Amino acid sequence: MMQAEWLPIILQGSFSEIYVMDCATLRFVQVNKAARKNLGYTARELARMTLLDVTRDLPRDMLLSLRHGRTKAATIDTAHTRKNGTTYPIELRLFYHSAGAAPVYIAIGNDVSARRNSAQALHTSEARLRAIASNAPGLFFQMLQRPDGSISFPYLSAGCHALLGIGAERLRADPALLFDLILPEDRSSCLESMTASAASMKQWNWEGRIQIEKWKDIKWINLRSTPRPLQDGVQWEGFMTNITQSKLEQAEIRRSRTQLAELSAHVDKVKEKERQRIAREIHDDLGGNLTAIKMALALVKTRLPPDDAELAGKTAYAEELVDRTIEAAHRISADLRPGLLDFGLVAAIEWQAREFEKQFGIPCEFSSNKKDIALDPNQAAALFRIFQEALTNIGKHARASRVSVHLMRSNRSIRMEIADDGKGIALADRLKPQSFGIRGMMERTAALGGQLSVSGGAAGGTVVALRIPLPE
């Protein structure tokens, strides 16, 4: 009686398909709601059917084994056919029950369509991942670090041997081989970055060199991976790639830039010497010749007939022309190389500040913490040219009303700061390919081992600041 009360509740309330069948005929005695819904039959229709009407390939020997007690339960993977002819995969668990007048088979089934679809999707995804990993130019890996510090590699792609010179199986068997490959001078940075990644759960990024002894080869590798916490430690998933070629290219670029900087510095030195030579020739040869011409004209002028006004006028014009030419020669000579540079950098910069005031009408205040700064002639000439270029830029572009210049010498360096109150300079203008003035100042400063910056002033305008180290 008690069984009759709760059995219908179990049959109808279960999400699994439940079938109760007569042992002799396999005709359905009871079919629960979940089974009827999946099959699409009514209870009356199923009462005239057997399990063989809906189940494919039901093994008869399994039923006999259950009935004779050789097995207590059996499981089969089969398929059920719905009333509309469609099928779905099902896992059936079969039991034999002999209580009562008529023994029965009980079948409990679960539709495994979703599980199979998930398994198929997972298989497809894994196959796709394996294909990507095997064809990628590097090594995909999973690395697990346990609480005791030991590591293992749950997964290593086929690129392991090509990158590290070690097969995946060998590295899995002895994970410490990875760190043995890293050059001693790079090993500590690798371990430190790994420890920091594990502590912060942030990406593990590292670049360093490995040495493959049997290939007599040193490679640069790049490691990028993401950590995630597990119950038994921290696991990283990521990849390693060979970046040796890019490192060689970077080194070549740096070497080329160094050579270009050295060439630029050499050209500046040669140009400065050539300017000095031309300025000296203009001053000595051309200036001397012009002075001689002026003296000769003065002598001719004293011997002219007093009543020849036309000849006197032409002589006066010639004298004026000689004076203008002498003045132009002095100006050109000073532009090529101010003679005041021979008297020191401070004097030359102060003279250039006064010349700037005369040319542009903009007050230029100059101060120095030393009356004289003794420098190598090449350093002095380079600093002077940087100062000239800065003033030229101010005069042409800044629309400034005032300029201040500070020159400071310390035990270790020389600092110069040129500030104006003009319209300022935008970052885009500083980076323009045509900004040869700023680029030239930077190149000259770099050639002296210093740094130059161009920035906005606190109250507007532009500040050009440079620092040149002095030899100890």
- pLDDT tens figures, 25-37: 889 999 999 999 9
Residue 20 shares a structural domain with residue 75 = yes
**What is the number of structural domains in the chain?**
4
117 found inside a domain:
no
Final residue of a structural domain among 335, 364, 384: 335
Name the strand (E) or helix (H) holding 123.
helix 113-135
Nearest residue to 364 (alpha-carbon basis) of 372, 356, 374, 373: 356
Residue 15 shares a structural domain with residue 85 = yes
* Residues 207 and 222 sit within 8 Å (Cβ to Cβ): yes
Local confidence band at 117 (pLDDT 50, 70, 90 cut-offs): confident
Residue 328 shares a structural domain with residue 346 = no
CATH number at residue 39: 3.30.450.20
Find which of 2-16, 191-205, 366-380, 452-466 is predicted with most confidence, using mean pLDDT: 191-205
52 found inside a domain:
yes
Nearest residue to 210 (alpha-carbon basis) of 166, 156, 149, 144: 166
Residue 160 shares a structural domain with residue 268 = no
305 found inside a domain:
yes
Q: State the average pLDDT over residues 226-233.
A: 93
CATH number at residue 432: 3.30.565.10
| pTM value surpassing 0.85 | no
Final residue of a structural domain among 314, 335, 356: 335
Residue 448 shares a structural domain with residue 403 = yes
Q: Which range marks the domain in which residue 439 is found?
A: 341-469
Residue 295 shares a structural domain with residue 313 = yes
Q: Which residue has the higher pLDDT, 365 or 292?
A: 365
CA distance 265 to 376: 14
* CA 93, 94, 98, 103 torsion-angle sign: positive
